[in-house]
Amino acid sequence: MAFPSTFPVARYRLEFTTEKPIHLPEYGGSALRGAFGHGLRQAACVTREPDCRSCALYRSCSYPAIFETPPPSDYSRRVLANVPHPFVVEPPPWGERAHDRGSALNFSVVLIGPALKQLPLVLLAWRKALRLGLGPREGTAHLDRVFVEGDPDPVHVDQAGRIRPHDQNLRLPSPERAPEEVTLVFDTPLRLRRDGQVLGIDALRVQDLLMGLLRRVAYVVELQLGSTLDVDFAALGAHASTIEGERRLAWRDWTRRSNRQQQRMVRGGAVGTWTLRGDLAPFWPLLYLGQWLHVGKNATFGL
């Protein structure tokens, strides 16, 4: 598999000061993602159409491009139900729920490909989102500073206004430098599917993980970067079946409120560690990149 040496992705840490107390769910990823969507729509939408798909600007507006990414109009294969979005929300640690007035609220956002060029709009959207109110009591917060991973100095502070130029490309390791063993840590639930069904811990296979990651990266490259990976899925699937795995995983449920379905939904996934052993070279850049792109269902929530 031919894989690039760099990938257009960057992780930004947003540091807020709470103004009106914020109460997040046990896992804040879904709530933050929803707030971001509201803020982004307010910042980007000019027609105020209730349904983006019927809007004349559907394929040129920044809101659907980032938050409800449509498939290409000439997409000839099976249209994906969920095109990968060019962002991932990484919320505060699990269980960090109460944020009193004057306290810090910090979390990260990963931007991919075209979303990197929209960084000023993304930050404006987050400002609006936290002014509109977050959580059941509609708490508010003020954006103070923004850091990009790997740089000790902020790329943006509220008083300065401008965003400092910085590197937005991740350098990927060479497959030739792959270790023979790697341990993956899943801090948030891992939801992998096979034949449309979410897999429980006993059903998880190394092949599900590696091929799920490969598919995610391939779709991001195709549908967000407008390129393709030179990938032999069958050969890599066969190779993945030779990798040994040692799991130390537990199941964790979490609850989210779906505004679209107007109901509370219980979701679960695996957390813990998963050690892989074998010839990892074909998957090494993918595993490294997975630290930014995430893997599995609800990756944009930070799972």
Q: Summarize pLDDT for 180-195 with one digit per residue, the tens.
A: 999 999 999 999 999 8
Q: Which two tokens stand for residue 111?
A: 């931007």
Q: Counting every residue, how long is the chain? A: 303
How far apart, in whole angstroms, are the C-alpha atoms of residue 67 and residue 260? 14
How far apart, in whole angstroms, are the C-alpha atoms of residue 4 and residue 113? 14
- Mean pLDDT score, 16-38: 94
Do residues 249 and 241 lie in contact, with contact meaning Cβ atoms separated by under 8 Å?
no
pLDDT for position 81: 60
Confidence of residue 36 (pLDDT cuts 50, 70, 90): very high
How far apart, in whole angstroms, are the C-alpha atoms of residue 214 and residue 196? 17
- Mean pLDDT score, 83-112: 95
How far apart, in whole angstroms, are the C-alpha atoms of residue 109 and residue 156? 14
Q: How far is CA 292 from CA 59, 152, 174, 192, in A?
A: 26, 19, 17, 17
- pLDDT surpasses 90 at 71: no
- pLDDT surpasses 90 at 230: no
pLDDT for position 73: 76
Where is average pLDDT lowest: 109-113, 156-160, 177-181? 156-160
Spell 234-246 as b/e; 16+ CB within 10 A means b.
eebeebbeebebe
- CA 85 to centroid of chain Cα atoms: 8
Q: Which two tokens stand for residue 128?
A: 């609006």
State what percent of residues in the chain have pLDDT above 70: 94
- Mean pLDDT score, 217-244: 92
Query: What value does the mean pLDDT of the chain take?
Result: 92
- pLDDT surpasses 80 at 263: no
- Mean pLDDT score, 260-272: 80
- pLDDT surpasses 60 at 76: no
- Mean pLDDT score, 214-224: 93
Q: How far is CA 110 from CA 13, 104, 137, 259, in A?
A: 9, 20, 27, 23
The pTM score is 0.94
Q: Exposure of 177 by Cβ count < 10 A (0-12 exposed, 13-18 middle, 19+ buried)?
A: exposed
pLDDT for position 260: 60
pLDDT for position 168: 97
Residue 47 carries which DSSP code? S
**Residue at 30: amino acid letter:** S
How far apart, in whole angstroms, are the C-alpha atoms of residue 43 and residue 40? 5
pLDDT for position 296: 94
Which residues lie closer than 8 Å to 173 by C-beta, 6 or more apart?
284, 285, 288
Confidence of residue 196 (pLDDT cuts 50, 70, 90): confident
pLDDT for position 257: 67
- pLDDT surpasses 90 at 267: no
How far apart, in whole angstroms, are the C-alpha atoms of residue 212 and residue 24? 30
Three-class DSSP category at 283: helix
